[in-house]
Amino acid sequence: MRIFKILQTDFHRMWSGQTARVLHLSRELASRGHLVIIASPAGAILGERARQAGLQVFQQVNFKRITHPIYLFRDIVALGRLIQREAFDLIHVHGSEDTWAVVLTRLLYGLKQPILMTRHNSKSVKFHAVNRWLYRSAIGRLVTTSYGALENYRPFFDAHILREDEVQVIHSCVDIEKFSGTLFPERIRAELGLGRDDPLIGLVGRMNRDKGHLVLLDAVPEVLREFPKALFVFVGKGGMEPIVREVIRNRGLGRSVRLLGFREDTQDITAALDLSVLPALGTDSSPAVLKEALLLAKPVVASRIGGIPEIVNEQTGILVSPGNADELARAIVEALRRLRQGNGTPSTSFPERFTPAFLCSSYLRVYEEMLGD
């Protein structure tokens, strides 16, 4: 087996499903003997957790938007020196800001390492001249995290800028060890003051518009009419938090909706849930939170959007139209009724394609194809 030396890059400073995927992949690659360095901004949670995992981290980058030319210039110089010194076989980029920094570094320094790009979300990809050049001339291979995300590249396929048969779909994985170890759901329910039969519904994810927190808040009153003791918890932080807090306060939902903030014990929280909800509005390509619920045999209610239908089916949950609070409320009520009747727990086994080992093996095949092995 050939040993690869790979530079992984990601611009995010906060923790997310994308950064978790980068860390899972890098850890698995390192465990198989490959050499990995992660380029991440100073202070980013990914860098901190990568170091804790024994991985090498390069944080002399900012990875700000391309509209910040001074930061971009500094990143290009730092990356150019790093890549020349380390002689990587391949550069694997994961976000927009780091992609452009790497692409421009490769161009200006005359570097030869191929670039693999993973597209992590389901946002539309603009078919303008800059993107056409990027995917035709700068990116060696493309990976998407769902078939839903793949469809956003249809104009690039039709224009023969990309070949659909060369774009690999690789779903994100779950931290099997974390979510399969000893769990403490009783501690969470005690912390929340819940009775044994009080329904607990959770939305785990960054608090931004795309996760659908406001849609869920619109659905809460209807759910409470049938399940008055139900408690909704939001796990995570983000820019929408002040707005979410204001809505909860103005609608008098403080007793039924709790904001738990960023938590390290999401495995225990998920284990304590009766129902996991993700009313996503637009960018979720392969959300880990749904796979974590599936691993713990928790039913889910989620939006029919992006790559979510590739994870959730009629055996594991209920899909709803994005942004439709009435439909979301009905689905939550239906899921809780099934649980009350004793037939709402998913019975399917956990798919291998959502494991770190499968993720790593899939990427290694792409690396080998790119490098001619």
Of 200, 336, 220, 332, the C-alpha closest to 270 is: 200
How confident is the model over 248-296, as pLDDT tens digits?
999 999 999 999 999 999 999 999 999 999 999 976 788 989 999 999 9
**Using the 8-state DSSP alphabet, how is residue 134 labeled?**
I
Q: Which residues contact 355 (CB under 8 A, 6 or more apart)?
A: 173, 174, 176
**Is 0.85 topped by the overall pTM?**
yes
Pairing of strands 200-204, 231-235: parallel
Contact 284, 210 (CB under 8 A): yes
Of 275, 297, 263, 56, the C-alpha closest to 174 is: 297
Q: How many CB atoms lie within 10 A of CB 262?
A: 14
Domains 5-173+355-371 and 176-351 share a fold: yes
Sheet holding 200-204, edge to edge: 257-261, 231-235, 200-204, 275-278, 300-303, 317-320
Predicted pLDDT of residue 315: 82
The DSSP annotation for 139-202 comes to -SEEEESSHHHHGGGHHHHHTTSS-GGGPEE------HHHHHS---HHHHHHHTT--TT--EEE
The interaxial angle of helices 45-52 and 17-31, nearest 10 deg, is 30
- Residue carrying structure tokens 């320094």: 109
Size of the chain, expressed as the number of residues it contains: 373
Predicted pLDDT of residue 347: 64
CA-angle at 212, arms to 206 and 218, nearest 5°: 130
| C-alpha 163 chain-centroid distance | 25
For the chain, which residues score pLDDT lower than 50?
none
Predicted pLDDT of residue 284: 72
User: How many separate helices (H) and strands (E) can be counted in the chain?
Assistant: 15, 13
Q: Please name the amino acid found at residue 171.
A: H
Backbone φ/ψ region at 297: left (φ over 0), alpha (ψ -120 to 50), beta: left
How confident is the model over 14-57, as pLDDT tens digits?
988 899 999 999 999 999 999 999 999 999 999 999 999 999 99
- Residue carrying structure tokens 């609070």: 325
Q: Where are the domains of the chain?
A: 5-173+355-371, 176-351
The fourth-level CATH superfamily of domain 176-351 is Glycogen Phosphorylase B; (3.40.50.2000)
Backbone phi and psi for residue 312, each to the nearest 5 degrees, phi listed first: -100, 130
Domain range 5-173+355-371, CATH class: alpha beta
Q: How many CB atoms lie within 10 A of CB 282?
A: 17
Q: Which residues contact 225 (CB under 8 A, 6 or more apart)?
A: none
C-alpha–C-alpha distance, residues 133 and 114, integer Å: 15
C-alpha–C-alpha distance, residues 358 and 34, integer Å: 16
Predicted pLDDT of residue 344: 67
